[in-house]
Structure 1
């Protein structure tokens, strides 16, 4: 018998497994309806679809390793709550059987506000986003989406859960929707910057942070792509730009030594020949062009949000920049020159002191509820295979 419990009272029963609605689920719904300071309201049509039952189900799916072909990989293994809902240790996440994922895992923090998904924008919404990783050979490696649905149908602790949340059995539509509902509640703002800029708390940030913000909107030109509105800031134009990173990965030097990160703060140098002898050949990546087939979109990638950016290293679409200092230095030099370099990028001439101030500003964008979101995420039982 399925018992639905909220605030100590039963909401209903359905034959099958047990689903408990907790304070985490209730808080998640409230967070979506009342986003933290600095974030805009979500559309009413989106909010109407967010219920505690769907949040609970979506979170369970997000952390379930059994949704991968061999039961070893969950969504949360590339979007680790304690690592800013991404992966900090390596440039690109490790997928099925140790295979290298082609691009850096983007954080799901505030993903509710993106107008397209993935670095190349190939999916239009969160509901469809999950289908790619589920069937990608290097990620969760399922032979088909139908196989995933059958896996869930034959997993006893899902009996009745979709019926309770959606009044319907598991299907692709409700599977994608449940995970999207959970992800839309993972909102983080009310950062020191927000409390200063939107909340008028003058002491919320230091003078160095304020100087960094002035650089961000003036000399640095960062605001041209990482936009700020009158009463909120998403720090993204949801557009695609060529910074030179993708072009350099295709046409840059293929010889010489390569710096290899062995552990946090520990690196060494290895010859490229040694890496090529044991490593997988670097997969081709032409960015947004792969979606549009428009030659003007070659090596363009989506502008990421900057909220919580201090928590979501490494940076760029392939994780090549390890620190915020590296990122600021990269843009200070004007990106990497190539025929399609975005016209907004040019050498900035910032001093060392100015670059440090800009980093301090970026660090001030960390929301005040990160630990609460981690606790929320870890409130579910990880789905592990029993064989």
Structure 2
């Protein structure tokens, strides 16, 4: 449990004005270098090391020069190449879109329509996950203290750990520290702005393809959509500075199930990425 945060989803990332859970980067071209150099991610020792490896790989021979008018692999061209690919990761034409914007009244089931009504009404989800008249990016792109960051910081807090693919167990923080690196503190947006009002605040994620992006929250502490809905239904963690937008919802079991069903309807059509290597296109 040495990584502080769950990997943010990349679906529709081109529409995010700021990147990472704390919004510390403003452009995909520069954001891409963060994971490449982070010691608990790809752990490359330096930018130059990455470029030297790319230049030495025969698979990339001539590709950067072809794509960038004779310019080889550099910090700028690697950033531009990765950013260009990420901008193709667009999801749309979900059953929700067909219902909301396409006039297809039968695109959602009765349970999913009930879930949409809860999402925009009693559940208060659309307060932060915005649905517009003509489109829905499903985020206000603001930063909110949901209580999860504070909860994770508590000494006796439990952590969801993946022991093997598909096998997860909930362990106390003390047990996690006894078998791995101690979790590092994480104060969210405060680490960027130093504004006390943004302690434990994280960016509102977009919800496209949310059914396929478990686990959830900035730290991956909630394993299922059902767990997320239950967390917000009980009003979060009651953390210091928790957003006043989060309060007990008093949803019934049927309403919670309907809300989850609606969230699953946000899966749409994704592009099929092609290999960038000309020899792979046959």
- TM-score, structure 1 normalization: 0.67
Offset at residue 356 of structure 1 (A): 0.7
CA deviations 1:337-360 (Å, max 9, x no partner) are 122101111111111111111011
Which residue number corresponds to residue 237 of structure 2?
336
Contact 2:143 2:203 in 1 (8 A): yes
Q: 1:119 pairs with 4, 7, 21, which one?
A: 21
Which residue number corresponds to residue 197 of structure 1?
100
Offset at residue 153 of structure 1 (A): 2.1
Offset at residue 233 of structure 1 (A): 0.4
SS of residue paired to 2:39: coil
Q: Distance in 2 between matches of 1:154 and 1:260?
A: 38
CA deviations 1:164-221 (Å, max 9, x no partner) are 1111222211110110001101111101111111101111110111111011111111
Q: Does 1:209 align with 2:112?
A: yes
Contact 2:159 2:221 in 1 (8 A): no
Offset at residue 114 of structure 1 (A): 0.6
Which residue number corresponds to residue 214 of structure 2?
313
Which residue number corresponds to residue 102 of structure 1?
4
Which residue number corresponds to residue 226 of structure 2?
325
Q: Distance in 1 between matches of 2:102 and 2:230?
A: 30
Q: 2:81 pairs with 156, 169, 178, which one?
A: 178
Aligned in 2, Cα 1:259/1:285: closer, same or farther, shift over 3 Å? closer
Q: Distance in 1 between matches of 2:73 and 2:102?
A: 44
Aligned in 2, Cα 1:208/1:297: closer, same or farther, shift over 3 Å? same
Offset at residue 252 of structure 1 (A): 4.9
Which residue number corresponds to residue 367 of structure 1?
268
Q: Distance in 2 between matches of 1:261 and 1:233?
A: 32
Q: Which runs of 5+ in 2 are unaligned?
A: 278-282
Q: Distance in 2 between matches of 1:259 and 1:230?
A: 38
Q: Does 1:303 align with 2:204?
A: yes
* Higher RCO, Cα 8 Å, sep 6+: 2
CA deviations 1:5-52 (Å, max 9, x no partner) are xxxxxxxxxxxxxxxxxxxxxxxxxxxxxxxxxxxxxxxxxxxxxxxx
